[in-house]
């Protein structure tokens, strides 16, 4: 495989990841528009699964082991959602996001080997202010942020 083939493969993967994150953000906006803030995280999770499962593969509450010195340790970590085996979605329904929440998603990305995660806090009046896109070694040629994904969704949804 030559350098051009690898680059083209990474570009396709990054485009696919961006497409998936746009759909996830669109689903979150839809859920938030219907329910608003103030409910339990588990409610938003169930609604997100319902919304996303129509068109995407979604795994819910997937266990995430820690590999320490070649030993697999089940420490109780669970990823809220994994979409299309490519994007981690960590849902919150809290007063405000703290740096520890972003660190949690970054740790999940490192442990899982995935490169993109969305941290979504539903306990906000405007959902776009509660979305963070976390990246760990994202494929080349993609600078798509949560804000640019939201702008694309606004054009298509509103």
CATH of the domain at 105: 3.90.320
Q: Residue 48 and residue 27: Cα distance in Å, rounded?
A: 7
Number of domains in the chain: 1
pLDDT band at 50 (very low <50, low <70, confident <90, very high): very high
pLDDT at 148 over 60: no
pLDDT at 147: 53
- Residue from 37, 32, 34, 30 nearest 51 by CA: 30
Q: Residue 36 and residue 32: Cα distance in Å, rounded?
A: 5
Instruction: State mean pLDDT over 46-72.
Output: 95
Least trusted range by pLDDT, from 5-19, 97-111, 129-143: 5-19
Strands (E), the chain: 58-63, 66-68, 71-73, 78-83, 87-92, 116-121, 131-135
| Residue 91 structural domain | 3-157
Mean pLDDT, the chain, rounded, equals: 86
Instruction: Return all residues near 83 (Cβ < 8 A) that are at least 6 apart.
Output: 20, 23, 24, 52, 56, 57, 58, 89
């Amino acid at each position: 495989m030559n350098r051009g083939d690898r680059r083209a493969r990474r570009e396709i993967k990054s485009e696919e990841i961006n497409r998936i994150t746009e759909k996830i953000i669109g689903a979150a906006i839809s859920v938030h528009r219907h329910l608003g803030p103030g409910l339990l995280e588990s409610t938003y999770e169930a609604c997100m699964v319902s919304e996303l499962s129509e068109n995407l593969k979604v795994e819910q509450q997937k266990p995430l082991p820690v590999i320490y010195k070649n030993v697999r340790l089940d420490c109780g970590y669970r990823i809220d959602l994994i979409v299309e085996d490519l994007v981690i979605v960590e849902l919150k329904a809290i007063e405000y996001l703290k740096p520890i929440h972003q660190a949690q998603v970054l740790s999940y990305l490192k442990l899982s080997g995935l490169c993109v995660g969305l941290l979504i806090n539903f306990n906000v009046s405007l959902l776009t202010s509660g979305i963070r896109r976390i990246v760990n070694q994202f494929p080349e040629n993609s600078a798509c942020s949560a804000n640019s994904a939201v702008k694309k969704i606004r054009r298509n949804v509103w």
